[in-house]
Amino acid sequence: MYTDTVLPSVDPSQKYQPYIPLQFDGRTWPTRTFKKAPIWLSTDLRDGNQALANPMTADQKLTFFRLLIKCGFKEIEIAYPAASDTDFNFVRYLVENNEIPDDVWIQVLTPAREDLIRRTFDSIAGAKRVIIHMYNATCALFRGVVFRNSKEQTIDLAVSHTKIVRDLSDKYTASHGTMFRYEYSPETFSQTEVDFSVAICAAVKAAWGKAGTGDNRIIFNLPATVEVAPPNHYADQIEYFCTHISEREHVVVSLHPHNDRGTGIAAAELAVLGGADRIEGCLFGNGERTGNVDIVNLALNLYTQGIPPNLDFSDLQGVIDVVTQCNDLPIHPRHPYAGELVFTAFSGSHQDAIKKGFEDQKRRHARNSANGEPQIWSMPYLPIDPADLGCTYEAVIRVNSQSGKGGVAYLIKQHLDLDLPRKMQIAFYQVVQAIADREAREMTVEDITAAFRNTYHFGGSKHEGRLALKSFNITTEPSAEPSDEDETRDERRYFDGTVKVDGVLRIVRGDGNGPISALLDALRTHLDIHLTLREYSEHTIGDGESAKAASYIELVAASDNIKEARGTSQCWWGVGVDSDITASGLRAVLSAVNTAVSAPTTWTGRC
């Protein structure tokens, strides 16, 4: 009987306060769609780095920086120079060694403290393009607890230090020719009264005083320093900010989502629809606590919508290798796009759909190509082509006890070039299923192909069964009697060959209306093997001179000596491959016969 159990926990309503929804009827983001990629800023070397148990060494930072350049980032937050000598010296190293391409803006973070701002400017001396990023927290909790400041004092802090940044940037432009941009972050924006955020940013903008367009816009970076509300709320806050800040055209609105509720990606996407121009984040979502928003994830989400992300992740494994080595953190196997399991189907119905999807897509793309149309990716369960990320299709289908015939057949096709007929797929699937159940583990491609070779005695002398076809000759003669249907004479085929039976060579002869029935007749006459043909199919493998024929045969018992051991409904499949179509059919017969006569059976071979 169901009993209503109550967990003996704290009543959360007595402990936690819900977020207060913004009363904003003017929102338009819910009906907008993505049109282009935002400006990206990587903060791996700052926010990501400051969250690591062991912050990166100078060498690791350099390796990571070069990776970011290779991926196409044009704005990179490289350090919190006032934090440590490592950070300061890293900035100096990049500047002094011309590591920064001319079209890349480096960004450096400083708090609103004059001594630390000055140290920050010292670090960038001689750089060509610099974004000075200053922050102070603005929400009530931080105003009251951390800074013990009123709203006015909080604005004063931001404004007075913006003026210091202004003066220093003018001086460094004069002395070093550096181009500066200014980014101000009202830290804890998403927990701050939105009108106060607008007010403090307006005051900072006035203090900066150089409203411009393009690269001369001031950047207001609006962080969800801690994600405390659902993503629609963040989108509302961003749209409100975008529509209430003055001189919007002189402002870059930037996002900086964290992921405490696990909705950092959603928050960033909805907030872009809310009007933001730029996103700060880290590769694979490293960063404080649950991480910064994952830029790889965001960029590839756009890519799958047909929108160029302006970042290159076509060698995703190369990116993963560098990032995991530098951060010393693993990537979860289910991490979007990057995890080792994200393009893998174990379950039968997924595998079946993927297999059919690949077959259909191949035909569709051939038609598209002939008509000069784009070859659109449209595949069940695979929202992106793994090849676009530099991955192969190897891992797309993996087999365990949850898998089905489609997945097993897909792997046989991929690895042995054999397109098994449906009924043979079912038969072989049962073989694989039995092993997977018995061994309670994943079946590797090697396991599956080995099971196939062993079951069907396929693939050379190593897999020979009790019977092996050593040589043969087919001759044709007109049959004595005309056929019933058309009164013309049928042709009769004669099989003369040598078959090795349990290691002993036997010469056999038989006849029939084709090579296969002639061989079956020979086996019946000379070896007491009574089997008849139920199904035959074939296809070619490859083309041109090297083309081969693959044949598939289903045999059923025609006498008791095999039936008794196997049951009357038993049938046996076989496969043969040869450059000669007749030989491939005969090999398939021997393959099926071997399956039938392998132990346990009553057939003794009569040798």
Ligand X SMILES: CC(C)C(=O)C(=O)O
Ligand Y SMILES: CC(=O)SCCNC(=O)CCNC(=O)[C@H](O)C(C)(C)COP(=O)(O)OP(=O)(O)OC[C@H]1O[C@@H](n2cnc3c(N)ncnc32)[C@H](O)[C@@H]1OP(=O)(O)O
Least distance in angstroms from the C-beta of 83 to ligand Y: 3
* CA–CA dist 588, 552 (Å, integer): 6
Partner from ligand X, ligand Y, none binding residue 147, C-beta < 5-8 Å depending on class: ligand Y
Determine if the peptide bond prior to 600 is cis (ω within 30°).
yes
Question: Which of residues 47 and 511 has its CB atom nearest to ligand X in the complex?
Answer: 47
Q: Does 361 bind ligand Y (CB under 6 A)?
A: no
Question: Which of residues 111 and 348 has its CB atom nearest to ligand X in the complex?
Answer: 111
| Binding segment (CB under 6 A) for ligand Y, from list 79-87, 265-273, 332-340, 522-530 | 79-87
Partner from ligand X, ligand Y, none binding residue 256, C-beta < 5-8 Å depending on class: ligand X
> Which residue in the block uniquely carries the two structure tokens 């090297």?
546
**DSSP string covering 148-198, please?**
---HHHHHHHHHHHHHHHHHHHHHHHHHH--EEEEEEEEETGGGS-HHHHH
- What number of chain residues touch ligand X (CB under 6 A)? 10
Which run of H or E residues covers position 376? none
Q: Does 221 bind ligand X (CB under 6 A)?
A: yes
Question: Which of residues 47 and 352 has its CB atom nearest to ligand X in the complex?
Answer: 47
Q: Does 223 bind ligand X (CB under 6 A)?
A: yes
Q: Does 187 bind ligand Y (CB under 6 A)?
A: yes
> Which residue in the block uniquely carries the two structure tokens 């008791």?
560
Quick note: the x/- pattern for ligand Y over 126-165, rule CB under 6 A, is: ---------xx---------xx------------------
Q: What are the residues whose beta carbons fall under 8 Å from the beta carbon of 553, sequence distance 6 or more?
A: 516, 533, 535, 536, 573, 574, 575, 576, 585, 588, 589, 591, 592
- Report which of 342, 406, 351 is spatially closest to residue 380, judged by C-alpha positions: 351
Q: Does 82 bind ligand Y (CB under 6 A)?
A: yes
Least distance in angstroms from the C-beta of 313 to ligand Y: 26
**Strands 548-557 and 571-578, how do they pair?**
antiparallel
User: What part of residues 164-203 is at the interface with ligand X (CB under 6 A)?
Assistant: 185, 187
Q: Does 561 bind ligand Y (CB under 6 A)?
A: no
Question: Which of residues 42 and 185 has its CB atom nearest to ligand X in the complex?
Answer: 185
Q: Distance between alpha carbon 455 and the CA centroid of its chain, in Å?
A: 34
Q: Does 42 bind ligand X (CB under 6 A)?
A: no
Partner from ligand Y, ligand X, none binding residue 82, C-beta < 5-8 Å depending on class: ligand Y
Question: Which of residues 258 and 587 has its CB atom nearest to ligand X in the complex?
Answer: 258
* CA–CA dist 192, 140 (Å, integer): 7
Which of residues 143, 161, 205, 256 is near ligand X by CB under 6 A?
256
- Report which of 339, 340, 345 is spatially closest to residue 358, judged by C-alpha positions: 345
439 CB-side CA count, 13 A: 13
Partner from ligand Y, ligand X, none binding residue 112, C-beta < 5-8 Å depending on class: ligand Y
- Report which of 573, 553, 557 is spatially closest to residue 565, judged by C-alpha positions: 557
Q: Does 136 bind ligand X (CB under 6 A)?
A: no
Q: Let me know: does 286 contact 48? Beta carbons within 8 Å.
A: yes
Q: Does 135 bind ligand X (CB under 6 A)?
A: yes
Least distance in angstroms from the C-beta of 136 to ligand Y: 4
| Binding segment (CB under 6 A) for ligand X, from list 53-61, 139-147, 221-229, 463-471 | 221-229
For 600, phi then psi, to 5°, come to -85, 135
For 492, phi then psi, to 5°, come to -105, 135
Question: Which of residues 129 and 258 has its CB atom nearest to ligand X in the complex?
Answer: 258
CA–CA distances in Å: residue 296 to residues 281, 319, 420, 428? 9, 10, 39, 41
Q: Does 189 bind ligand Y (CB under 6 A)?
A: no
User: What part of residues 16-55 is at the interface with ligand Y (CB under 6 A)?
Assistant: 47, 50
| Binding segment (CB under 6 A) for ligand X, from list 120-128, 167-175, 220-228, 388-396 | 220-228
* CA–CA dist 260, 234 (Å, integer): 13
Contacts with ligand X by CB under 6 A lie at 47, 109, 135, 185, 187, 221, 223, 225, 256, 258
Contacts with ligand Y by CB under 6 A lie at 47, 50, 80, 82-83, 111-113, 116, 135-136, 146-147, 187, 225, 288
